[in-house]
Amino acid sequence: MHPHQIPGPVRQFLVPVEFSTGRSGGVRHLPHDGPMTDNEDLTRRFIPPRTDLLFRWIFGDQNSTTLVTDLLRAVLPDLPTADWTQVRLVDPQMPADRDQGKTTVLDVKVTTATGKTIDIEIQLLATPGIRERIAFYTADLLVDSINRGQDYTDLRQVVTVVISGTTLVPEEPGYYHTVDLRTANHHLFTDVLSIRILEMPRVPPTDDGTDAWNWMRFLAASTEEEMDMAATDNPAIADAADQVRHYNADATTRHQLLAREKFLRDQLTRERVARREGIEQGLEQGVAQAQHTNALRALRLGLPVDQVAAITGLTPAEITELAPET
């Protein structure tokens, strides 16, 4: 191919952890792309570059090392220049989970000239346990980076870059967050793990003077016009925008992208329904247990069955079945 907001504050997921933040700006919400409907004109709707499958196609292609390098240099300005002299896209599939046999496929995975491993993840929806999942995937990357016969001094830094469609770090200002392993006195314990979270809804509307700003405005674009504005001053972003247009114009890829979006939204709906039903079931079980416990206490105090029934709401027959337990 050619080129819900998390209730907060939430406990930090690497211990000890410090969130180092920067790049403040006003908070806005990304426009809701909305689910597909039977009456929607699918030939006209713009599919934005933040769509995870489209992002993989553009930045995960072996011919796209220039694009992914420019993006990473922008969002990881603290990494040495030497890292970017050779960026290699590698297989984004991780080994099967050690406990459940599940295979994880990352969005885009690269290695740098100095041996660092960088994972770029697009996370548009606020799913339960997302912060813990990010921590787990980053740790798994570190485990996967060392081979048999090597020792811990051979470890090279792994960095996870999360481009989020929601506010993942509401307790901190700004749209760019660095998560490192630090001591209680804020000293860096080790740099082998680093997580960078960039929140699209919090990107300021005006240029903040960073290279990351244009890339984030590009990824957050909901219309072709917004995308083109972000691409004005950066040839790499302009190239990425051309590819977004290419995939938007192709009927086959549009169908795949829209089907992927529908799958993700249906999956989120199923998870929400399951959680709601689980909560309701848990409440019902809790009420039943309380009735059972209170009935036993009343029987042990010698109250007659009819009074126990009036107190607990259980039927006389149900209370009679409990009598042997007293």
Residue 88 covered by a domain: yes
Q: Which residues contact 323 (CB under 8 A, 6 or more apart)?
A: 299
Hey, what amino acid is at 77? P
Tokens coding 26: 């006003």
Domain boundary among the residues 192, 222, 249 is at: 249
Give the DSSP letter of residue 188.
Answer: E
Residue 159 covered by a domain: yes
Name the residue with tokens 């206490």.
297
For residues 41 and 165, membership in a common domain is answered with yes
| Furthest-apart CA atoms within the chain: distance in Å | 85
Tokens coding 38: 């039977």
Domain boundary among the residues 221, 249, 277 is at: 249
For residues 300 and 236, membership in a common domain is answered with no
Q: Which residue has the higher pLDDT, 301 or 205?
A: 205
For residues 304 and 179, membership in a common domain is answered with no
For residues 31 and 124, membership in a common domain is answered with yes
| CA–CA dist 239, 49 (Å, integer) | 12
Residue 318's pLDDT band (cuts 50, 70, 90): confident
Question: What per-residue confidence (pLDDT) applies to 75?
Answer: 97
Q: Calculate mean pLDDT across residues 100-113.
A: 70
Range of the domain at 137: 17-249
Q: Which residue has the higher pLDDT, 108 or 325?
A: 108
Q: Calculate mean pLDDT across residues 148-163.
A: 89
| CA–CA dist 133, 260 (Å, integer) | 21
What residue ranges in the chain does DSSP mark as E strands? 17-22, 88-89, 108-111, 117-123, 158-164, 176-182, 188-199
For the segment 178-216, what is each residue's pLDDT rounded down to a tens digit? 999 999 999 999 999 999 999 999 999 999 999 999 999
Residue 34 covered by a domain: yes
For residues 294 and 180, membership in a common domain is answered with no
For residues 218 and 295, membership in a common domain is answered with no
Q: Calculate mean pLDDT across residues 235-248.
A: 95
For residues 167 and 59, membership in a common domain is answered with yes
Q: How far is CA 194 from CA 34, 36, 144, 158, in A?
A: 33, 37, 15, 6
Contact at 8 Å (CB) between 232 and 95? no
Q: How many domains does the chain have?
A: 2
Phi, psi angles (nearest 5°) of residue 199: -100, 110
Phi, psi angles (nearest 5°) of residue 18: -125, 135
For residues 37 and 182, membership in a common domain is answered with yes
Domain boundary among the residues 249, 277, 301 is at: 249
| pTM of the complete model | 0.69
Tokens coding 285: 């079980």
